[in-house]
Structure 1
Amino acid sequence: MKHGFIKTAAITPKVRVADPVFNAEQICMEVDNAVESGAKIIVFPELCITGYTCGDLFLQEVLLKEAKEQLIKITAHTADKDALIFVGLPMMWKNKLYNVAAALHSGEVIGIIPKVNIPNYAEFYEGRYFVKGNEVPVSYTWRTEGGARKIPFGANLLFEIDAIEGLVVGCEICEDIWVPDTPAVTHAMAGATIVVNLSASNETAGKEDYRKMIVKSASARMIAGYIYASAGEGESTQDVVFGGHNMIAENGSILAEAKRFANGIIYGDIDVHKIIHERRRMNTYMAEEKEEYTTVSVNMTEKEVSLARTFPSTPFIPADKRKREKRCDEILSIQALGLKKRYEHTGCKKAVIGVSGGLDSTLALLVTVRTFDSLSLPRENILAVTMPCFGTTDRTYENACQLARTLGTSLEEINIKESVTLHFRDIGQDIGNHDVTYENSQARERTQVLMDIANRENALVIGTGDMSELALGWATYNGDHMSMYGVNAGVPKTLVRHLVQYYADTCNSEVLYKILADVLDTPVSPELLPPVDGVIAQKTEDLVGPYELHDFFLYYMLRCGFEPEKIYRIARCSFAGQYNDEVILKWLKIFYRRFFSQQFKRSCLPDGPKVGSVAVSPRGDLRMPSDACARIWLEELEKI
């Protein structure tokens, strides 16, 4: 439960129709299994104590009496179980029969939730037995041999678990999720961050996909966790078959899904903090104080969950190849469309772009070519400028030149060694002192050259820097930091590589493919220090850290709002066997230091298109003061 994670379980037990004694034994056995595995919220199917398919037997007094007796036994079995458990049964109240979920905790029934939407069609004819449940909770007298006490009875019940701030559980039953205005939506607006559903959904051809869709969409629309437990093997097959299609979802994603036609248990680690963060950042998500709701406090011991869920080590890149290719094509289109609008608005017909033979400038050039093609402008109007200096290697120089020529753009070479050397003389910089002045003077000279050529040609300078560099401040202020439009500003470094690879795979040119393949194989470097034996001496990731780590940190910090300790925890899982704990912690500290200290560079960024759910533009996604202090973030890491 630490860091907002709570382990949940959806269980389909073996049942015998109209045999509450057997069913209660199975439920107790499954409760033991789930609790032993660390589950804190456990959900069973609708009417699981009796079986869903009892038909007119629901009207028999003996069945109803035994169902209550077995609920009492199940409740007693939970006395030493620190979990919130939901089981389904038929229950009488004021001479009417209700299809209900009983909420159990530590040996007590703490609430009873009746089904609100009663189906009465085709294979489901519950209206023959059950009445619609009341929404506003009333006081129900729960009598056992130990005496009587009052418990809330109604659909508008919420269970607030104190072990995680903001963890509030609401409940609905089967048909409730299939109607246009589901109870769960109201629960969520009243504060529920997890909704459970006790269901008995039969199987028909094609229904699995639709059922999965409504569970995913429900969790996405409500920004909530959703636990769906359905009836399975053991129900009567007189007219229908039940498959035990259990699912656990979180904000539109399926965390766990049962294999149908096999009873059992699934687990899912729901991240309550992530849900709360998403609601907090969406000011259109308005929670409401609802007087018609009753909240039951659930005291639960906080315990660290052993995580079964995984976190992608490359969160910006889909793992599935087909989805990845679709994403790459979509992003290239977004980049090109943004640049296209800038050209239509300004009336410019030419572009100036500095090409280095590296990944970022390669991607920017490819996007610019795509833009000019869409505008029916000649590629010759794209002026690719290569500006070799002290750190340029033959490999990157040749790749830059060949790429520009192969794409049909105009190529101009301007060697800046002499101008930079003169500049060093003017400011009294020792050319043998390879400090930050030595490096940044080259970057600023290149930008000056590009800007002046743009003036000469009445063109726009296309920026090449990517989002990862901007997050870390790995850009020379008023150097490569500046342009008239930064096409890569929303693209993280790990994604740049895949975009170039996708372009190479789909370009239908063997020559271009070979050039792009060599660019992809070249180490990331600003090439501002002299090469050693003709080989790149300055590798960015040796200095600033692995970009795959920094992109991971960036995503879970900005997109999910995770605190440093939580990011460190999940990074250890995601990069196990690749980076040891000390290395991850080292670069995480550097990430936070650089991210906070370099905000001033992001505060004055040129325009550039947002392509994903994370961006650092000061005009939209990241309204961050340039002088914010990183103290509390770094102090948390120092405690690890």
Structure 2
Amino acid sequence: MDKGFEYMRVASAVPSLRVADPYYNVKEIIKICVKASDQGVRVLVFPELSMTGYTCQDLFQQKSLTDRCQEALKLLLEETKYLNMLIAAGMPVRADGQLFNCAVILKEGKILGLVPKTYLPNYGEFYEMRWFAPAYKRMSETITLCDQEVPFNEKLLFKDDISPLCVGVEICEDLWALIPPSSYHSGYGANLILNLSASNDLAGKADYRRELVKHQSSKCISAYVYSSAGEEESTTDLVYSGHCMIAENGILLEEDKVWDGFIYTDIDLEKLNNERVRSNTFIDTIGKRDYKYVAFNLGCSENLKLKRFVNPRPFIPSSPEVRDRRISDIINIQAVGLAQRMKKINSKKAVIGISGGLDSTLALIVIIEAFNKLKLPLTNIIAVIMPGFGTSERTYKNAHAIVSGLGTGLREISIEDACIQHFKDIGHDIDNHDVVYENAQARERTQILMDIANQEGGIVVGTGDLSELALGWCTYNADHMSMYSVNSGVPKTLVRYMVKWYADYKTAGNLQKVLLDVWETPVSPELLPPDKEGNIRQFTENSIGSYELNDFFLYNMMRNGYGPEKIYYLAKIAFKDEYDREVILETLKSFYKRFFTQQFKRSCMPDGVKVGSVSLSPRGDWKMPSDASYELWMKLCEEIEK
């Protein structure tokens, strides 16, 4: 990372262990601290009671053990005082005439705080209340530990004065409680939760732990670093596996069962904080609680190679199984939206323009699914093929094959004569292939569809997708307009996958072959005449840039709230083998200019359902003035060039 970009490198570690040998254990902890520091780790978490081992049982009540643990802590403080790292380790602490199971938080030789465990399991194989007192029984706000006056409170948060980092701590069973302490920690500002754990292994328990961590990180809109005791704990009755996990807002970033080692990754504080700003109900339910904040200086990770996956196609799940389920869900959502609209306006027919391209093919598929839900005959779907000056032989044949293969109604109406007459009427030279030449064709097609809908008592179904809305790649009051727009929430990169999915799983024979050819056809409005061989001459991505890049920019601006510099930085990583830096930057500048200047089209877009986390509906997710300036974003892009 050339700059921090509000990434923080965090780690979960399981050191080698000897039960009831604090000095040995601390030396092993120190080894990992040094190794982690060499990897640029800024926050490091060890398991519950990692200085003694979790399985000491009645030995916890031996003063010799707790005294020795404090002496070992002094060694840990001394040996890590030159490391710019926040360290969380577990130890038993005597205070107020009781023994507490604590997380000790330290940095550069100073103890920042002690966090006692809130919920002590005393069921099944657990007997913690035999040895420890729960946090609510503490009486002191501070205690003296290793000659330092230390905050002692379960409601402690550790706030970095340099970065947006705010850390909350809970211990093992706390996560399993009805309302985990981390829920309150997050409400009061913690965007990173550390869990020092000692969760034994049982058949299926790792899966349950994983879901707990993912779910809690999602509920808290936080990062969550979990470290559980390892194999060298006593195996008198139980086995521990060293389960380490790092999650971020419901996504598992790293996971492993480690022994004498650690896992690490970079969490995105900007992404988390942006998500919280959007969620106005996030802190509404936490109530008033007396939290204490401990300040420290850490700073974001910088000058490191980013250690997390950057998805070049963020709208498309990486897992084929998840992708298939997602596509099926989206088509169903689209179909339900259209079916309900038709039902409520008492429409029995749908009218759609079919070009032989991706968007109109997907829209026709959705209409068919809606008609199946409504139990209407597919012949009530009026698919209109409207060849014009730019129609290629490939798309023309595919359009006919699609309509024939899907079994809908069909009309073919050439727009050429109407456009020629129109050019005469307005005094436009037909050989002047400017914006008038192109847009007149688009508006003629829309007029035909609207008039047929009136003629048949039907509804015009729009085909434009989310990417086109973002870029304004549609003709105002032409393909921009319909009576219901089924693709308005689907980005172009996903449209392509959806058509292929339908071909693979829902069709066979010639129809499947045709749909796969549509999938491979270059995206084009086909408004300019084809070449001498009848092939497509006009390619959309030559005008606006790659849809892969534009969808990447759209997702990261809308969903994650990133600015140009961070989007450019991530795009360089995601597309390092596909696009050079100049292409990425020029496409980014074009994206911002088009996104701002084309808002007027989105401000009056037709109804259409939201299907994913990004939507541009002016009635729902995106409210923006049509005349906002894009100068700030252009200047930020220009600073990247410098």
Do both share a fold (TM > 0.5)? Answer: yes
Partner of 1:444: 443
Deviation at 1:303, TM superposition (A): 4.0
Partner of 1:142: 144
Task: Note if contact 2:172-2:197 (Cα within 8 Å) is conserved in structure 1.
Answer: yes
Partner of 1:275: 272
Task: Note if contact 1:156-1:292 (Cα within 8 Å) is conserved in structure 2.
Answer: yes
Give the one of 223, 226, 232 matched to 2:224.
226
Task: Note if contact 2:8-2:301 (Cα within 8 Å) is conserved in structure 1.
Answer: no
CA distance in 1 between counterparts of 2:309 and 2:634 reads 25
* CA 1:162–1:290: 2 relative to 1, 3 Å: farther
The yes-or-no answer on 1:175 pairing with 2:173 is yes
Counterpart of 2:55 in 1: which secondary structure? coil
1:42-57 equivalence runs, <5 A: 42-57=44-59
Q: For residues 329-361 of structure 1, give each alpha carbon's deviation from its aligned partner in whole angstroms, at most 9, with x where no partner exists.
A: 111111111110111011111111111111111
* CA 1:192–1:619: 2 relative to 1, 3 Å: same
CA distance in 2 between counterparts of 1:573 and 1:270 reads 16
More divergent stretch after superposition (184-193 vs 405-414): 405-414
Task: Note if contact 1:139-1:150 (Cα within 8 Å) is conserved in structure 2.
Answer: no
1:520-559 equivalence runs, <5 A: 520-533=519-532, 534-559=534-559
CA distance in 2 between counterparts of 1:296 and 1:321 reads 45
1:91-490 equivalence runs, <5 A: 91-134=93-136, 138-144=140-146, 148-165=147-164, 167-259=165-257, 262-286=259-283, 290=288, 292-304=290-302, 305-490=304-489
Counterpart of 2:257 in 1: which secondary structure? coil
Q: For residues 174-196 of structure 1, give each alpha carbon's deviation from its aligned partner in whole angstroms, at most 9, with x where no partner exists.
A: 11111112111111111111110
CA distance in 2 between counterparts of 1:627 and 1:386 reads 36
CA distance in 2 between counterparts of 1:97 and 1:342 reads 65
Task: Note if contact 1:14-1:23 (Cα within 8 Å) is conserved in structure 2.
Answer: yes
CA distance in 2 between counterparts of 1:251 and 1:462 reads 36
CA distance in 2 between counterparts of 1:292 and 1:322 reads 46
Task: Note if contact 2:7-2:300 (Cα within 8 Å) is conserved in structure 1.
Answer: no
Q: For residues 414-439 of structure 1, give each alpha carbon's deviation from its aligned partner in whole angstroms, at most 9, with x where no partner exists.
A: 11111111111222211111111111
Give the one of 58, 64, 67 matched to 1:65.
67
Deviation at 1:628, TM superposition (A): 1.5
CA distance in 2 between counterparts of 1:14 and 1:450 reads 72
CA distance in 1 between counterparts of 2:348 and 2:67 reads 83
The yes-or-no answer on 1:26 pairing with 2:23 is no
* CA 1:279–1:391: 2 relative to 1, 3 Å: same
More divergent stretch after superposition (513-522 vs 235-244): 513-522
Q: For residues 351-386 of structure 1, give each alpha carbon's deviation from its aligned partner in whole angstroms, at most 9, with x where no partner exists.
A: 111111111111111111221122121111111111
CA distance in 2 between counterparts of 1:540 and 1:253 reads 34
Task: Note if contact 1:170-1:192 (Cα within 8 Å) is conserved in structure 2.
Answer: yes
Give the TM-score taking structure 2 as reference length: 0.97
The yes-or-no answer on 1:590 pairing with 2:590 is yes
Deviation at 1:290, TM superposition (A): 4.8
* CA 1:600–1:22: 2 relative to 1, 3 Å: same
* CA 1:149–1:569: 2 relative to 1, 3 Å: same
CA distance in 1 between counterparts of 2:362 and 2:68 reads 70
CA distance in 2 between counterparts of 1:289 and 1:629 reads 40
Deviation at 1:123, TM superposition (A): 2.1
* CA 1:135–1:220: 2 relative to 1, 3 Å: farther
* CA 1:51–1:276: 2 relative to 1, 3 Å: same
Deviation at 1:142, TM superposition (A): 2.4
Give the one of 36, 39, 47 matched to 2:38.
36
* CA 1:508–1:480: 2 relative to 1, 3 Å: closer
Task: Note if contact 1:137-1:292 (Cα within 8 Å) is conserved in structure 2.
Answer: no
Deviation at 1:283, TM superposition (A): 1.0
Tell me the amino acid that sits aligned with residue 46 of structure 2. Answer: F
Task: Note if contact 1:137-1:154 (Cα within 8 Å) is conserved in structure 2.
Answer: no
Task: Note if contact 1:139-1:153 (Cα within 8 Å) is conserved in structure 2.
Answer: yes
Partner of 1:2: 4
Tell me the amino acid that sits aligned with residue 581 of structure 2. Answer: D
Task: Note if contact 2:191-2:222 (Cα within 8 Å) is conserved in structure 1.
Answer: yes
Tell me the amino acid that sits aligned with residue 315 of structure 1. Answer: P
Counterpart of 1:494 in 2: which secondary structure? helix
Q: For residues 370-412 of structure 1, give each alpha carbon's deviation from its aligned partner in whole angstroms, at most 9, with x where no partner exists.
A: 2112212111111111111110111111111121122222211
Post-superposition, which runs of at least 4 consecutive aligned residues in structure 1 deviate over 6 A? none
Counterpart of 1:242 in 2: which secondary structure? coil
Tell me the amino acid that sits aligned with residue 278 of structure 1. Answer: E
Deviation at 1:124, TM superposition (A): 1.6
Counterpart of 2:266 in 1: which secondary structure? strand
Partner of 1:620: 620
More divergent stretch after superposition (622-631 vs 475-484): 622-631
Tell me the amino acid that sits aligned with residue 359 of structure 1. Answer: L
CA distance in 1 between counterparts of 2:560 and 2:138 reads 35
CA distance in 2 between counterparts of 1:629 and 1:72 reads 58
CA distance in 1 between counterparts of 2:634 and 2:31 reads 46
Counterpart of 2:243 in 1: which secondary structure? coil
* CA 1:188–1:136: 2 relative to 1, 3 Å: farther
Deviation at 1:162, TM superposition (A): 2.1
Q: Once superposed, what is the RMSD of the aligned Cα atoms? A: 1.5
Task: Note if contact 1:134-1:154 (Cα within 8 Å) is conserved in structure 2.
Answer: no
Task: Note if contact 1:14-1:26 (Cα within 8 Å) is conserved in structure 2.
Answer: yes
Deviation at 1:315, TM superposition (A): 1.1
The answer for unaligned runs of 5 or more in structure 1 is none
CA distance in 1 between counterparts of 2:306 and 2:125 reads 40
Tell me the amino acid that sits aligned with residue 336 of structure 1. Answer: A
* CA 1:289–1:635: 2 relative to 1, 3 Å: farther
Task: Note if contact 1:136-1:155 (Cα within 8 Å) is conserved in structure 2.
Answer: no
The answer for unaligned runs of 5 or more in structure 2 is none
In percent, how many aligned pairs have the same letter?
51
Task: Note if contact 2:160-2:299 (Cα within 8 Å) is conserved in structure 1.
Answer: no
Number of residue pairs aligned between Structure 1 and Structure 2: 635
CA distance in 1 between counterparts of 2:591 and 2:209 reads 42
CA distance in 1 between counterparts of 2:83 and 2:257 reads 27
Deviation at 1:156, TM superposition (A): 0.4
Task: Note if contact 2:111-2:148 (Cα within 8 Å) is conserved in structure 1.
Answer: no
Deviation at 1:94, TM superposition (A): 2.2
Tell me the amino acid that sits aligned with residue 335 of structure 2. Answer: A
* CA 1:295–1:487: 2 relative to 1, 3 Å: same
* CA 1:149–1:49: 2 relative to 1, 3 Å: closer
Tell me the amino acid that sits aligned with residue 208 of structure 1. Answer: A
Task: Note if contact 1:198-1:228 (Cα within 8 Å) is conserved in structure 2.
Answer: yes
CA distance in 2 between counterparts of 1:547 and 1:576 reads 16
Q: For residues 268-308 of structure 1, give each alpha carbon's deviation from its aligned partner in whole angstroms, at most 9, with x where no partner exists.
A: 21111111111111111126685611101111244424311
Counterpart of 2:33 in 1: which secondary structure? helix
CA distance in 2 between counterparts of 1:364 and 1:181 reads 45
Tell me the amino acid that sits aligned with residue 200 of structure 1. Answer: A
CA distance in 2 between counterparts of 1:566 and 1:236 reads 47
CA distance in 1 between counterparts of 2:211 and 2:43 reads 23
Tell me the amino acid that sits aligned with residue 593 of structure 1. Answer: K
Give the TM-score taking structure 1 as reference length: 0.97
